[in-house]
Amino acid sequence: MIHFESRAEICWFHEWIVVAVALALTGLTCAVLLSVFGFDPFVSLERIVIKPLSSTYGVSELLAKATPLITIGVALSLSFRAGIWNIGAEGQLIAGGLAGGAVALAFYGVDSFWVLPLTLLGGSLGGLVWGAIPAFLKVRFNVNEILVSLMLTYVALLLLSVMVHGPLRDPDGYNFPESRLFHDAAILPKLFSAGRGHVGFIFSLLFAVGATWVVKRWHLGFEMKVSGLSQRAACFAGYDRNQTIWISLLVGGALSGFAGVVEVTGTIGQLVPNISPSYGFTAIIVAFLARLHPLAVVPAGLLVALSYLAGESAQLALGIPGAATQIFQGMLLFFLLGTSLLVNYRIRFRRRL
Amino acid sequence: MDMILLSAIVHAILVASTPLVFAGLGALIQERAGVLNLGIEGLMIVGALAGFVVALSGQPLLVSVLAAAMAGALLASLFGFLVLRCLANPIASGLALTLFGLGLSALAGAQYVGLSAPQVAVWHIPLLSNIPFVGKAFFSHDPLVYGSILAATVVWWFLMRSRPGLVLRAVGENHDSAHALGFSVRGIRFLAILAGGGLAGIGGAYLTLIQTPLFVEGMTAGRGWIALALVVFASWRPFRVIAGAYLFGCVTIVQLHSQAFGVSIPSQILSMLPYLATILVLVFISWRSKGKGSVGPSSLGKTFKISH
């Protein structure tokens, strides 16, 4: 009979071997699915993964997609460690993009160095406010943060829609629901001559390093971790649960908001009704792929960004519907979760007594 | 306002609410067993597609609905395997279920977009449907509207009046005690997940078979999440799920017909109302229950593992 036995200590080697197994299983399933639909898996791999990555343009696009995923993934890895389930990062991203975009449009035509920092700050504040709502409600009324942050995602999406249909619409845009293109002073510099990769990526790397420092070296990081592992233990140690709630959601909101404003000022260049292909939700997969280690979010984010890129090229080169990306991401999360059992438990085979 | 318009509106509210009733009951039965399933949205849309495809092939309504329930239960069993057998994090597993379900339905359903399901006959309840106003509003519906009330009654009877229901609630309240009494915690939870998945699938099928009746990618549009909020709103009681669902249906319909009522607010603002209402309700019930311990089943969302 198969029997699971708790491991006394979690070994870092097991953690990453399990991630590798999950990735291999996902890749294998995809190869099988491709063959079932009549595509040669190796030729497809070459066309949808290797080819896009072998040009500067492709790499630049990859970094553009990885930027929001890493930025939000870092925040979520902190928050999930603390046992705060901020599922509404997507809404915080949209709120940030909207607030930052509004600042950029308010100073349209002002050609000064401070416009861009102010725009980024505005975006982060927008996300912060969106994250503060579930934090306040949880601290004050003990309301479940999962549901509140999620409901606010829909509210943010609708709010963005109202604004680009109304007050922020381009006056010369023939009534299209879009804002005007941001002034050059509010546009993030590009990393390469080709593609849309921008300096927001550098910021995302800095966030990952900063968060790792907080987790490893600050007492606050330790308090949040204890609070997530056992609320009772944290309570007996005198750690403030409310502080953990506030920090998790405010950092989550601010970073997601930053990801949003960086997305509109770096990748898109204007406000449109849809500023994110569910980056906020996909970042949850990124955080789990990184096993909630902030530094590991960087490769995880790049990998998941690659799945977006591969999905796009699969659509173009093979005619596979774009939804295949979502299936791939869902499957990856399934395998990651299913195999994570092996990190915490050892399998023993023994006869039934 | 004249009575004919009002009765038509009440009729529309019932139609808009029915998917939420089914999905809410599906979430409720799982949560009563201590399982928090954030995958309701994915289960609904897969059920929506399965029911739609079967209906297109000319099968009667009952068969389509059963197919939707089976599709929902099948996908839910994957969640059950992860959460119960692999001891995976239930929050992330539910989310994976939603992502996977949305992707799968979009991929498999691409070829069915633009088709429309056969019309479903309305059941006029004899005599009652002839009453002016009330007849049109409440007694001239498709079978599934009556079915949703029946489902709530059955779920209520099962949970509150039957012995297996008592065991299910015991598992949700304290899985360690239930285990010590010799009940199979994992078995009972798995059955609850299957039943919940089936109900969520039916809720989704209502959209494609009756409400729209079309299939569009991502057409559940957050109803699965509202269903989860509804369960909290209903404080885990089946009949209150109906009441809550009708309240949400009410807001949806008011928003759709705001122009007829002479309201000049952008439609998006009104579309926010159900979500904002959910938050307000959550605040209200959490505030009311403050000091009375936890709200809802005590073992909700906790991983059960046999310790010996």
Tell me the chain B residues in contact with residue A338 when contact means C-beta distances shorter than 8 Å.
81-82, 86, 88
Report which residue type is found at B164: P
Q: At residue B308, does pLDDT exceed 60?
A: no
Angle at B6 between CA B1 and CA B7, to 5 degrees: 150
Q: How confident is the model at residue B79 (pLDDT cuts 50, 70, 90)?
A: very high
Whole-angstrom CA distances from A287 to A85, A147, A311, B181 are 12, 20, 20, 39
CA-CA-CA-CA dihedral for A67, A68, A71, A74, to nearest 10: -110
- In B, minimum Cα distance to A166 occurs at B266
Alpha helices in chain B (DSSP H): 3-32, 40-56, 61-80, 90-109, 134-138, 143-161, 163-173, 175-180, 185-206, 223-233, 238-256, 267-288
Q: How confident is the model at residue B3 (pLDDT cuts 50, 70, 90)?
A: confident
What class, spelled out in words, does domain B3-288 have in CATH? Answer: mainly alpha
Q: Do B266 and A165 touch (CB under 8 A)?
A: yes
Residue B193 is predicted with a pLDDT of 96
Distance CA A96, CA A73 (A): 16
Lowest mean pLDDT among B2-6, B36-40, B110-114: B2-6
Q: Do A161 and B228 touch (CB under 8 A)?
A: no
How many CA atoms lie within 13 Å of B298's alpha carbon, on the beta-carbon side? 10
Task: Write the pLDDT tens digit of every residue in A143-162.
Answer: 888 889 988 998 999 999 99
At A349 the three-state DSSP class reads strand
- CB-based contact, B301 to chain A, within 8 Å: no
Kindly report the three-state secondary structure assignment for every residue of A4-30: EEECCCCCHHHHHHHHHHHHHHHHHHH
Q: Do A334 and B104 touch (CB under 8 A)?
A: no
Report which residue type is found at A99: A
- Local confidence pLDDT in tens for the 353 residues of chain A: 667 777 777 777 888 888 899 999 998 988 888 888 778 888 888 888 888 888 889 899 999 999 999 999 999 999 999 989 998 999 999 999 999 999 999 998 888 889 999 999 999 999 999 999 999 999 998 888 888 998 899 899 999 999 998 888 888 878 788 888 888 888 888 888 888 888 999 999 999 999 999 998 998 888 888 888 888 888 898 888 899 999 999 999 999 999 999 999 999 989 998 899 889 988 998 998 898 999 999 999 999 999 888 888 888 887 777 778 888 888 888 898 888 877 877 777 776 55
Residue B9 is predicted with a pLDDT of 85
Report which residue type is found at A143: V
CB burial of A230-257 (b: ≥16 within 10 Å; e: otherwise) equals eeeebeeeebebeebbbbbbbbbbbbbb
Q: Do A158 and B271 touch (CB under 8 A)?
A: yes
- CB-based contact, B225 to chain A, within 8 Å: yes
Q: How confident is the model at residue B261 (pLDDT cuts 50, 70, 90)?
A: low
Mean pLDDT in residue range B132-139: 77
Report which residue type is found at A11: C
Residue A298 is predicted with a pLDDT of 96
A323: buried, middle or exposed (CB in 10 Å: 19+, 13-18, 0-12)? buried
* Window 249-278 of B, Cβ < 8 Å to A: 266, 268-269, 271-272, 275-276, 278
Distance CA A146, CA A205 (A): 27
The shortest C-alpha distance from B13 to chain A (Å) reads 21
Higher per-residue pLDDT: A192 or B134: A192
Q: Do A323 and B97 touch (CB under 8 A)?
A: no
* Window 30-89 of B, Cβ < 8 Å to A: 38, 78, 81-82, 86-89
Helix (H) or strand (E) run with residue A345 in it: strand A345-349
Distance CA B126, CA B54 (A): 30
Count Cβ atoms below 10 Å from residue B253 Cβ, excluding itself.
Answer: 20
Tell me the chain A residues in contact with residue B293 when contact means C-beta distances shorter than 8 Å.
none
Kindly report the three-state secondary structure assignment for every residue of A118-173: HHHHHHHHHHHHHHHHHHHHHHHHCCCHHHHHHHHHHHHHHHHHHHHHCCCCCCCC
Show me where the domains of chain B are located.
3-288
The shortest C-alpha distance from B159 to chain A (Å) reads 25
Q: Do B96 and A334 touch (CB under 8 A)?
A: yes
Task: Write the pLDDT tens digit of every residue in B270-291.
Answer: 778 878 887 888 888 788 776 5
Task: Write the pLDDT tens digit of every residue in A294-309.
Answer: 999 999 999 999 988 8
Tell me the chain A residues in contact with residue B271 when contact means C-beta distances shorter than 8 Å.
158
At B123 the three-state DSSP class reads strand
Alpha helices in chain A (DSSP H): 12-36, 41-45, 51-53, 56-81, 89-106, 115-141, 145-165, 200-217, 219-229, 231-236, 241-262, 279-289, 297-317, 324-339, 341-344
Q: What ipTM was predicted for this assembly?
A: 0.86
Q: At residue B294, does pLDDT exceed 60?
A: no
* Window 111-150 of A, Cβ < 8 Å to B: 137, 141-144, 146-148, 150
Q: Do A321 and B88 touch (CB under 8 A)?
A: no
Q: Which of B96, B271, B283 shows the shortest C-beta gap to A333?
A: B96
* Window 202-241 of A, Cβ < 8 Å to B: none
| Strand pairing class (A345-349; B123-124) | unpaired
Alpha helices in B185-237 (DSSP H): 185-206, 223-233
- CB-based contact, B287 to chain A, within 8 Å: yes
* Window 20-79 of A, Cβ < 8 Å to B: none
Q: Assign residue B247 a region (left: φ > 0; alpha: ψ between -120 and 50; beta: otherwise).
A: alpha
Residues 6+ apart with CB under 8 A from A166: B266
Kindly report the length of chain B. Answer: 308
Residue B295 is predicted with a pLDDT of 64
Sign, CA torsion A95/A96/A101/A107: positive
Q: How confident is the model at residue B133 (pLDDT cuts 50, 70, 90)?
A: confident
The token pair at A50 is: 């290797």
Residue whose structure tokens are 């209200």: B284
- In B, minimum Cα distance to A344 occurs at B87
A109: buried, middle or exposed (CB in 10 Å: 19+, 13-18, 0-12)? exposed
- In A, minimum Cα distance to B282 occurs at A143
Q: Which of B88, B268, B283 shows the shortest C-beta gap to A141?
A: B283
Residues 6+ apart with CB under 8 A from A63: A191, A195, A197, A198, A201, A305
Count Cβ atoms below 10 Å from residue A118 Cβ, excluding itself.
Answer: 17
User: Does the reported pTM lie above 0.95?
Assistant: no
Q: Assign residue A45 a region (left: φ > 0; alpha: ψ between -120 and 50; beta: otherwise).
A: alpha
Tell me the chain A residues in contact with residue B217 when contact means C-beta distances shorter than 8 Å.
323
Distance CA B158, CA B163 (A): 8
Distance CA A350, CA B9 (A): 64
Report which residue type is found at A235: C
